[in-house]
Amino acid sequence: MNDIPRRNAVCAKPPEPKDPRPSREEAEAAIRTMLLWAGDDPDREGLRDTPARVARAYGQWFAGYREDPEAYLARTFEEVDGYDEMIVLKDIRFESHCEHHLAPIIGRVHVGYLPNNKVVGISKLARVVEAFARRLQVQEKMNAQIAHCIQTVLEPKGVGVVVEAVHQCMTTRGVHKTGVTMVTSMMLGEFRENALTRREFLHVIGSPASSADG
């Protein structure tokens, strides 16, 4: 009998977790503290509304945390008259932020996939890129997230994603090297296994690697 209360306690539904995000007021107070730490006066006219402005900007820059990238790919089309050749959407501009310094990452993404009886509206591919970009990111991780999301939902024969970006954590601080672009790629399925498919994709997006491949 003494055991029953303990078993019930173990099986009881755990309490709902509290929202880990601070309130808007707490966020603005933190920004005010950063202004003080930087050496300025947050009460002067030019900075008086800055905490509220920054909080609003963060709401836009990091809107990806409130979005489900897979949901954008849920609606597909199968009436494509048997089309099974490569589909490429290139030069998708994105703006993200480095998770190490909160500095901007600005660049473009090229996406290609080999459909397997279904395709998705091209704007949805751009929305997937935006959803992942509007989070604190590392380029390599974002590259992989985009590719795996498309592969998981659409189940194509293959996916290729190339990201080219400039990292302001490198150009505006640290080594201060401007004019440097970081390029990453993720190839899945046919894009990884078939050199001809990979070369075609790289040629379409205008990657220098296409001439060196093979």
Query: What value does the mean pLDDT take over residues 100-128?
Result: 96
Q: Are 107 and 130 within 8 A, CB to CB?
A: no
Domain with CATH 3.30.1130.10 in the chain: 76-211
Contacts for 169 with CB less than 8 Å, ≥ 6 apart: 98, 100, 101, 103
Catalytic residue among 149, 167, 190, 200: 167
Residue 169 appears among annotated catalytic residues: yes
pLDDT in tens, 185-200: 999 999 999 999 999 9
Task: Find the catalytic residue in 110, 130, 137, 139.
Answer: 139
pLDDT above 80 for 80? yes
Lowest-pLDDT choice from 138-152, 155-169, 171-185:
171-185
Task: Identify whether 139 is a catalytic site residue.
Answer: yes
d(CA 188, CA 144): 10
How many C-alpha atoms does 7 have within 13 Å on its Cβ side? 4
Q: Which is the catalytic residue, given 25, 26, 100, 140?
A: 100
Using a pLDDT cut of 90, give the percent of the chain over it: 79
176 is catalytic: no
Q: How confident is the model at residue 18 (pLDDT cuts 50, 70, 90)?
A: low
Query: What pLDDT, in 10s, does the model give residues 151-171?
Result: 999 999 999 999 999 999 998
Top-tier CATH class for 76-211: alpha beta
3-state secondary structure (DSSP) of residue 147: helix
Q: How far apart are CA 82 and CA 29, in angstroms?
A: 57
Main-chain dihedrals φ then ψ at residue 207, nearest 5 degrees = -80, 135
Residue 116 to residue 155: CA distance in whole angstroms: 7
Cα–Cα dist 169/175, whole Å: 9
Which is more confidently placed, 179 or 146?
A: 146
**The model scores a pTM over 0.75:** yes
101 is catalytic: yes
The pLDDT of residue 214: 43
Q: Please determine, for residue 30, whether its predicted confidence score (pLDDT) is greater than 60.
A: yes
What pLDDT, on the 0 to 100 scale, is given for residue 17? 56
Q: Return the number of other C-beta atoms located less than 10 Å from residue 106's C-beta.
A: 14
Q: Which residue of the set 67, 95, 101, 168 is catalytic?
A: 101
pLDDT score recorded for residue 15: 55
Separation of first and last alpha carbons in the chain: 74
Please identify which of the residues 67, 95, 99, 164 carries the catalytic annotation. 99
Q: Confidence class of residue 21 from pLDDT cuts 50, 70 and 90?
A: confident
Query: How far is residue 204 from each of residues 20, 92, 121, 187, measured CA to CA in Å?
Result: 44, 14, 19, 15
The answer to whether residue 7 scores a pLDDT higher than 50 is no
Out of 98, 151, 190, 200, which one is annotated catalytic? Answer: 98
Catalytic, out of 95, 148, 164, 169: 169
